[in-house]
A and B are shown apart, each in its own frame.
Chain A
Amino acid sequence: MLLRHTPKEITERSALTINPAKTCQPIGAMYAALGIHGCLPHSHGSQGCCAYHRSALTRHYKEPVSAATSSFTEGASVFGGQANMLQAIDNIFAVYDPEIIAIHTTCLSETIGDDLKQIKKRADAEGKIPKGKEVISCSTPSYVGSHVTGFSSMVISMAKMAEPTGKKNGKLNIIPGWVEPADMEEIKRLVGLAGVKSILFPDTSGVLNGPLSGEYKMFPDGGTTVKELKSTGDSIGTLALGEWCSGEAARWLDANMKVPCRVLDMPFGLSATDRFIDALRMIAGVSVPDEIALERGQLVDMISDMHQYLYHKKVALVGDPDQLIAMTEFLVSLDMCPVHIVTGTPGKKFEARIKEITKDMPFEVNVRAKGDMFLLHQWIKNEPVDLLIGNTYCKYIARDEDVPFVRWGFPILDRQGHQYFPTVGYKGGLRLLEKILGVLLDRLDRDAPEQSFELVM
């Protein structure tokens, strides 16, 4: 047994987290910053943070992840990191020449109280930021929130780059949240199909799913451009996908730039995608093309074709709030039963929303925000499930408990495809269904007695 010391009996823990279902804010800020074209993310802290985030993102995307660090020493930790940051700005523009540096803080620089806004002012005053180049920053102490809120913080800083000209640009801002590059690409495809002009930010497609061609581009072709980010204040509206990842940035644009916003769920599964497309239609004043209706119909078709294998199957889920809310709704819409749901990210609203979505289910739901995978495993030991959905760390639970397992979320360290094949939208729904059915039917095939082993399923 891989997790052989996990007892079935659940005891309340007040201080000890075991097998976390979240990581820290800075990595989220780094991932979001990579979705800006020509951006070098910068970690203001000791160099280990930056090394760990780059390694984690690289293992997930199997792509180069460039980011710089202030490389604090003990001296900097005592006297403040301003000198390190100013030197870093100098070196970064001299050596790497990015369009923009996106700085985030760490628990170290936050604890000593470094003020990034003041440091930026100083850099400006000393002429360290070349003309036409940008430096943005956000505060991401690791002892608050999670990687999800860190992502959100950097997205807010991106929204704050808006420089309204007073003339509308006819575009719709779309904030996709922490989804895969393939998902961002898919959202752009759907928006394009609907005939809507948009600014998607951040946009890691073309950044973290690049080609191999013998050429290394430190700043790949993809990403939202600085020009586009400045233009978000002129947009006709903002659609934020996911309250946790994207809501705040959209509301900031609404409150400060008078760009009206709507906050929707992430478009995973049938109903959430329906609401996304419908909102798109209403805000942009377009009619939905037949291609999109066709994709929707194909998803409904597969649900009806395979319903017998899904009906009342119990599922355990772990991941991030926005994703889990949409996935839970999707599973319920398939007549599946998500019974154990854990996120490491704090937020009582999450628990309330999940309870609302699952209220008519024939089973009681265990849901926990600020939970961990140790608790999830204990829940599974007490009430076994037919399917487990989560990041790669779930494979230890899946093997110990012999549960069919679909990898979905962050990080995925041991399988491929998540960078290239979306799970958002109707097409993404088909892919999710394909993956779910794949593991469920493989299990039936594995366990069926010879006399009832089925050819056609």
Chain B
Amino acid sequence: MATMTKKKLVQWDPAEVKAELLAKYPSKVARKRAKQIMINEALANETPEISANVRTTPGIITMRGCTYAGCKGVIMGPTRDIVNLVHGPIGCSFYAWLTRRNQTDAGPDGENYMNYAFSTDMQDSDIIFGGEKKLTAAIQEAYDLFHPRSIAIFATCPVGLIGDDIHTVAKRMKEKFGDCNVYAFSCEGYKGVSQSAGHHIANNQVFKHIVGENDAEKPGRYKINLLGEYNIGGDGFEIERIFKKCGITNIATFSGNSTYDQFASAHKADLNAVMCHRSINYVADMLETKFGIPWVKVNFIGADATAKSLRKIAEYFGDKELIDRVEAVIAEEMPEVLAARADVRTRTEGKTAMMFVGGSRAHHYKELFNEMGMKTISAGYEFGHRDDYEGRQVIPTLEVDADSRNIEEIHVEPDETRYNPRKTPAEFKALEEAGYAFKQYDGLVPDMDKGTIIIDDLNQYEAEKLVELMKPDIFCAGIKEKYSIQKLGVPMKQLHSYDSGGPYAGFKGAVNFYREIDRLVNSKVWSYMLAPWQKNPELSASYVWE
């Protein structure tokens, strides 16, 4: 077996690993990082505190991106029929062009602008004299060329600094067109401390400008929205397949394989199923306050997690027909999953994994590794907040620092005509008494074993050290981390873009992931690091040709 050639530290002491990670830092950096590196105590009733969603240290090579990436790249990118116009110099639009692998299905003739990159390509004259005129002209040109139902404008760093009023431009153009909704996002890259601020800004504007725009009734039973699913590598297609089979109607996905109309009709659903709560919980809360739609946390990463989430949705509707249908689907789907799982476990059992990605994703993928008998020895988020680690109950205790205060919190009131609580107080109470948890997630920490290491905003230096010291069988993060880890002879799986793989959600996705991890950790390539003459460098014997 290839990986057996690796030397492992027999018993690494987490405190020693932590000390080693901090050793090289200047004292100020070490103090800060010490609070973001936590050895899990696995306490029964209490979750230890970790510092998260705090500033990145200048000069320390971070995995994080910016607010624009979180807003345009993550939340708004996957919607196919909105023209996403980036107001700024060319780079920001270029880098977010098709690089996130959000798949979409527009059919043979539907609207699909996802293969296009739109930019105002600001020049120095626009920076000096202001870019509003150019933005106005660009919106007009996009409208004239494509006649889309909606144009979204995204601000990049210089836009906020020079004071272009993108919201007024958007409003004016919306009024002028009459048949095209135009709105803007003040998602300049310097806001907040990571992508996370961009998610929040996107949530706010989508809610303000799109949600509730279409009051037409949507056909179907058991209507839900799927929040925080981005259809990377076709994850959303697999979840949609399962929903259809169960008879669950998905009104809107935020935002994988979505359309403008899905957002506009989201208030027609009766339940919000929240997957990546980090990126989308704001919309979930606002939909509840304004329209009375409750939300629950789900996870479709992992076959067992998928089954659990389907049952959770069925239990909410409480309809025997749906409950039975869901059970039948699970019974039908699981044998293939269990067969694949049993097969790969003979090769993956007991292997170790590390995951540093996203704000919910590291936790979700831990489920899949559990199913393969693999142990997560260290994990953390790139842009998570404390509640993503410790559970939603800590939110009231979170300090709002200067960076978070700059991100707008919009105040939402119940809609005068459309607020409609989906269940009576008695029904809610009955569900909760039966153990049903609304608006709740426990976070990553309670799910990690004692003595594992949880690290927020892991950086390149710490990643390399961790791999050197703890020798995991697989490391998961993003494209920037991929090759430095693999140079160390450890396979690296991208959990942002999936390395061109997927889907990994749902039942079929779980099977794909088992096979993918089996392939990676057992690939022959990891045994080729040394040439024969490097393995045995001494010229001990003399070789004689016969």
**Interface residue ranges, A against B (CB under 8 Å):** 2-5, 7, 11, 13-20, 22-24, 26-27, 42, 45-49, 51-56, 58-59, 62-77, 84-85, 87-92, 94-96, 106-108, 111-112, 141-144, 146, 210, 212-218, 344, 374, 393, 396
Known: A20-B119, A55-B95, A108-B161. A13 touches B60 (CB 8 A): no
CB atoms of B120 and A15 under 8 A apart: yes
CB atoms of A4 and B480 under 8 A apart: no
Known: A64-B487, A111-B161. A2 touches B115 (CB 8 A): yes
Using Cβ atoms and an 8 Å threshold, which residues of chain A touch B135? 15
CB atoms of B26 and A94 under 8 A apart: yes
Known: A17-B121, A141-B124. A344 touches B90 (CB 8 A): yes
Known: A51-B65, A213-B529. A5 touches B111 (CB 8 A): yes
Known: A46-B189, A64-B484. A112 touches B161 (CB 8 A): yes
- In Å, the complex CA distance between A13 and B60 comes to 42
CB atoms of B99 and A64 under 8 A apart: no
Using Cβ atoms and an 8 Å threshold, which residues of chain B touch A52? 65, 69, 91-92, 95-96
Among A18, A84, A213, the one with the most B-chain Cβ atoms within 10 Å of its Cβ is A18
Interface string of B180-206 (1 = CB under 8 A from A): 000000001111111000000000000
Using Cβ atoms and an 8 Å threshold, which residues of chain B touch A49? 66, 91, 189
> From B147, which residue of chain A is reached at the shortest CB distance?
A5
Interface flag for B530 (CB, 8 Å): yes
Given contacts A11-B144, A45-B157, 4 further A-B contacts (CB under 8 A): A24-B89, A68-B59, A212-B489, A214-B529
How many A-B contacts at CB < 8 Å in the complex? 263
CB atoms of A92 and B59 under 8 A apart: yes
Interface flag for B58 (CB, 8 Å): yes
Could you write out 11 A-B pairs with CB less than 8 Å apart? A3-B115, A11-B145, A47-B56, A49-B91, A51-B62, A52-B95, A59-B479, A71-B56, A88-B59, A107-B122, A216-B464
- In Å, the complex CA distance between A143 and B86 comes to 13
CB atoms of A20 and B190 under 8 A apart: no
> From A414, which residue of chain B is reached at the shortest CB distance?
B500
CB atoms of A212 and B134 under 8 A apart: no
> From B486, which residue of chain A is reached at the shortest CB distance?
A212
CB atoms of A95 and B24 under 8 A apart: yes
> From B86, which residue of chain A is reached at the shortest CB distance?
A17
- In Å, the complex CA distance between A217 and B488 comes to 9
- In Å, the complex CA distance between A49 and B130 comes to 22
CB atoms of A91 and B59 under 8 A apart: yes
Using Cβ atoms and an 8 Å threshold, which residues of chain A touch B58? 68-71, 84-85, 87-88, 91
Q: 9 closest pairs, A vs B, by CB?
A: A48-B66, A24-B91, A88-B59, A91-B59, A142-B89, A15-B137, A214-B529, A52-B95, A64-B484
Known: A11-B145, A45-B157. A143 touches B127 (CB 8 A): yes
Q: Distance (Å) between the CB of B105 and the closest chain A CB?
A: 13
> From A51, which residue of chain B is reached at the shortest CB distance?
B65
- In Å, the complex CA distance between A451 and B77 comes to 49
- In Å, the complex CA distance between A159 and B113 comes to 43
CB atoms of B119 and A17 under 8 A apart: yes
Give the size category of B's interface with A. 35 or more
- In Å, the complex CA distance between A107 and B86 comes to 14
Using Cβ atoms and an 8 Å threshold, which residues of chain B touch A19? 97, 116-117
CB atoms of B109 and A4 under 8 A apart: yes
Interface flag for B141 (CB, 8 Å): yes
CB atoms of A62 and B483 under 8 A apart: yes
Using Cβ atoms and an 8 Å threshold, which residues of chain A touch B98? 393
CB atoms of A73 and B189 under 8 A apart: no
Using Cβ atoms and an 8 Å threshold, which residues of chain B touch A72? 190
Using Cβ atoms and an 8 Å threshold, which residues of chain A touch B464? 216, 218
Pick the residue among A15, A48, A146 that contacts B90 (CB under 8 A). A146
Interface flag for B238 (CB, 8 Å): no
CB atoms of A20 and B117 under 8 A apart: yes
- In Å, the complex CA distance between A112 and B127 comes to 11
CB atoms of A54 and B144 under 8 A apart: no
Pick the residue among B55, B89, B111, B122 that contacts A71 (CB under 8 A). B55
Using Cβ atoms and an 8 Å threshold, which residues of chain B touch A95? 24-25, 29, 59-60, 461
CB atoms of A94 and B190 under 8 A apart: no
> From B402, which residue of chain A is reached at the shortest CB distance?
A75
CB atoms of B126 and A91 under 8 A apart: no
- In Å, the complex CA distance between A89 and B58 comes to 9
- In Å, the complex CA distance between A204 and B188 comes to 33
Q: Distance (Å) between the CB of B42 and the closest chain A CB?
A: 31
Interface flag for B94 (CB, 8 Å): yes
- In Å, the complex CA distance between A16 and B146 comes to 12
Using Cβ atoms and an 8 Å threshold, which residues of chain A touch B403? 73-74
Interface flag for B389 (CB, 8 Å): no
User: Which residues of B in the span 120-176 have a Cβ within 8 Å of any Cβ on A?
Assistant: 120-124, 126-127, 134-138, 140-142, 144-146, 156-158, 160-162
CB atoms of A216 and B145 under 8 A apart: no
Pick the residue among A3, A17, A146 that contacts B118 (CB under 8 A). A17
Known: A107-B88, A107-B89. A51 touches B483 (CB 8 A): no
- In Å, the complex CA distance between A96 and B92 comes to 28
CB atoms of B90 and A22 under 8 A apart: yes
